[in-house]
Chain A
Amino acid sequence: MDREVIIPMTAHRPLLDVRDLEVAYETKGGLFRKSMTTVVKGVSFHIAPGETYGLVGESGSGKSTTGRAILRLADIAGGSIDFDGTDIAGMGSRTPLSYRRDVQAVYQDPGASLNPRHHVGRAVTDALKRHGIGDRASRRKKALESFEQVGLTAAHLDRFPSEMSGGQLQRVAIARALVLEPRLVICDEAVSALDLSTQSQIINLLMDLQKDSGVSYLFITHDLGVVRHISQRVGVLKLGELVEEGVTEELFDNPQHEYTQALLTASPSSTPEGRDERRELRQKRRVSVPSLRQAS
């Protein structure tokens, strides 16, 4: 890595400290042989309390797998994940309930992440119930408060997911994630499937909620524009390796790694000005960097 280690924004130790994380999947090699494919190869980064860390990369970069490993949904093959001083990679098969409360997730497809057969309000009350918070009536009250916090109303509590728009569903997913007052939320492409006008509302909502609660976000996305807007620091993943990391502004203004540079030139601009030059630049880069010529 070319960049020097970034000093956390606060003097505290980081909330999440990922070191040399490796995740491998079992793939069928043959009848008796099992072969392992490593999809995350020695990734290290940390997130400070109240910070948003962006993890960008294309499909197959291992960005979602990294998130799943932190959520203890993918088996960790190597390295460590320290959450508030505890190594969660070394825990057994059981995940402590407190960790399930501290770390939450918001996914790309809000429709799929909510049970199609349950009223959406139940997603929130079920979570509260599992963590032993309140009685039936107070849980409902709390669910309503969390709905209002994300811009929904009491009328939305008793709807099925099929009765709501994508933006509304994503608000429900955010309400479910935040009602437990977590300290870290993994946002896996959380705004990628939304229309532009909805996307900006959800981004603002996430940032407002962070300001109020001091929650940290791991923001996983392929969208460089969103990452630039929302995160303080960014890591760039390519084929399971973190190729570059840095403070967002610096990384975007002065990318060091050629892959980051290629990503930035390939990323569509918000304005047509200078597009012919960009096209030429891409042309040249494709010729000079053979590995990018056919990135897929």
Chain B
Amino acid sequence: MTTSTVGPAAASAPAARQASGPAQAWRRLRHQPVTLAAVITIAIIIVIAAAAPLIAPYDAGETDFTSVLAGPSADHLLGTDDFGHDILSQLIYAARTALIVGVGSVLVAMLIGVPMGLILGYKGGWYDRLGSRVMDIADAMPGIMIGFVVIAILGRGTLILIFAIGLIFSMNFARMVRAITLTERKKLYVESAHVTGLRNRQIVFGQVLPNLVGPLAVQGAVFLGNAIKVEAALSFLGLGLPDDQPSWGGMLRTAAEHQVDHPWMALPPGIAIVITVLALNLLGDGINDALSGARTSRKQRKRALHQAPTLAEVEEAKRAVSSVVTTPVAVAPALAQALVTTDKHPDPVLAVRDIHIVADRPDGEVVPLVSSLDLTVGRGEVMGLLGESGSGKSMLAKSILGLLPAGVRVESGSVELAGEELVGRTERQWREIRGKKLGVVFQNPQANLSPVHTVGRQLIDPLRIHHGMSKAVARDQAADLLDMVGVKDAAKRLDDYPHQFSGGMAQRVAIAIALAGDPDVLILDEATSALDVTTQSQVLDLVLDLREKLGMAVINITHDLGVAAEACDRVAIMYHGQLLEVNDVFSLFDEPHHPYTKALLASHPTADHKVDRLPTIADFVTADGEWIAR
């Protein structure tokens, strides 16, 4: 059969194969010293508990009536209790109890809670309403009281204690699993499973459950700590384990009886509980961070801005670049340079000169994202920056705006805006540029605007800051701006919130805000990509009208050939971090020079005419992976 292949690279594995989810999480986990310490602590406790008979100097039940309630000595390193039990041995055997009860009760809690949460979250409707009420009622009862009741009915014993504690925590698991299942069941992969015909049971346990493993591991670690605390509390109250079974809670109870004359007795079990529970909680946090890939502390985040990026950030930046790997055609720099036909504008307002943008990997490798790029944008000109994902067009825009993500930096080169150098500015110096001389509108209209402030406030603030207007003058000016971008009843709508605007209208508001500083250059980063075609054409027409009226330059970053054709004066083609071709829009579409530009134009299905078969990039590349110049 005649399948269209992806070009020479289809068969070979991607150059940088991404590590799978769990492997990546484990790598991140290893980079967290606190978590590592927690893991080691827990491992030590497990070894002690498992090897208790070998390590403990005395047997658990062994009594030495010659030394009762003695302080630490060579025979009894931590002393003895009122029955002459060696406290160190008791502590070691109690670790065993704590772990068995803790792990057992978490397993019981999961066995009850996970299926319950899955069913409630997935089935919804009456199941969910009824089940949620049961969870509410269970939550309203103090956990320890549930423990009392179960033990009162069933009596004391290890298994009963495990069941009682498991019951206390089962509702927490159910609640969490239900919440995650509610979001998961709306995802497309669940819908796809439905379309395939999978049974509900298969979808819930085969498809949804694997996606709960991460959160369950986090909660499991945290609840393990909590279960050990509850076990200690119940044993302390004399309700937990039988008295002859060593437990940290039971040791505390003995210590409490002799608190006045032998205060040291409370210390060993107390410290053991604190260390164990703390280690488990830290492990839970660590797993959470590793799975989400997020750094939580502010200090760390601040540091990340100046230091090496996290692994995840570099992976992401690299993936963005290497996603074009399906068609990895080397761009001969000489060829690229030769094809830049009109990169100079006689009256430039923005000039990018020989810019190199790189990402630093933690292992010291420097990954180039944009290489030796020159571009000028003239006053009042609409420059289209056209490229596919991974072409580096957004990185270029972010470097112009000083908004490069952590770990990505301008290695060399210069960006000059109306005679001012932008590269190397401090955050404070950037404030004189962004929002004032540079306006920007991003793809998602609602994300451009703050949801908790009225659009009036979001317009008035920059006017007051940048132009020092009084509140009343700024409000009039804001209304004028809204009116100019085509919002009806502008003065009234100043008091509306962003969610009261439709997508197209919200994007108009975002443009008005970007224009508030009276910028020299307005940057549109895929600003119309999320809009419907009729709305898109309105917004593009608006930008052209505003350009004619205000004379600012516009950089329109897009992946859409049609947007470039309809609304740009000149177009720059980017591919793999390089500028391949810059030309007047009419010349570029009539006579593309670079094979890649030709390929792009040819592979674009359009509403104006129809071809039998769409050419693909592969048609413009030789078997050896070189561009066919024709």
Contact = CB atoms under 8 A, between A and B. Distances in A.
B454 to A, nearest CB: 20
Interface in B466-491: 488
A198 interface: yes
B604 A196 contact: yes
Interface residues of B, number: 81
A269 B1 contact: no
A86 interface: no
Nearest to B540: A268
Interface stretch (B192-200, B259-267, B297-305, B432-440): B192-200
A81 B417 CA distance: 60
Interface string A274-296: 01001100110010000010111
Given A201-B6, A270-B561, A165 B323 contact: yes
Contacts of B536: 266, 268
A176 interface: yes
A195 B389 contact: yes
A105 B195 CA distance: 7
Contacts, number: 247
A115 to B, nearest CB: 5
A204 B401 CA distance: 39
A229 B605 contact: yes
A127 B561 CA distance: 38
Interface residues of A, number: 90
B532 A58 contact: yes
B5 interface: yes
Interface string A188-211: 000000011111110111011100
B560 A268 contact: yes
A263 interface: yes
Contacts of B605: 199-200, 203, 223, 225-226, 228-230
B307 interface: no
A162 B21 CA distance: 8
A104 interface: yes
A126 B206 contact: yes
A222 B565 contact: no
A107 B192 contact: yes
A176 B196 CA distance: 9
Contact of A222 (B6, B533, B537): B533
Interface string B586-628: 1001000000000111011111111101111110000000000
B565 A268 contact: yes
A196 B565 contact: no
Interface string B547-564: 000000000000111110
Interface stretch (A22-30, A37-45, A150-158): A150-158
A208 B188 contact: no
A263 B534 contact: yes
Contact of B505 (A104, A163, A268, A296): A296
Nearest to B323: A165
B607 A267 contact: yes
A278 B601 CA distance: 20
Given A166-B323, A201-B6, A269-B565, A115 B189 contact: yes
Interface in A109-143: 109, 112-118, 123, 126-127, 130-131
Please indicate which of the listed interface residues B3, B187, B194, B563 has the most CB atoms of chain A within 10 Å of its own CB. B3
Given A112-B187, A270-B565, A296-B505, A130 B533 contact: no
A256 interface: no
Interface in A87-112: 95, 97, 100-101, 103-105, 107, 109, 112
Nearest to A110: B188
Contact of A130 (B3, B18, B198): B198
Interface of A: 58-59, 71, 73, 95, 97, 100-101, 103-105, 107, 109, 112-118, 123, 126-127, 130-131, 149-153, 155, 160, 162-168, 173, 176, 180, 195-201, 203-205, 207-209, 212, 222-230, 248-249, 252, 262-273, 275, 278-279, 282-283, 286, 292, 294-296
Interface of B: 1-6, 10-11, 13-14, 17-18, 20-21, 187-189, 191-199, 202, 206-207, 210-211, 213, 323-327, 388-389, 488, 502-505, 532-538, 541, 544, 559-563, 565-566, 585-586, 589, 599-601, 603-611, 613-618
8 contacts: A104-B196, A105-B191, A105-B192, A105-B195, A196-B561, A201-B618, A295-B538, A296-B535
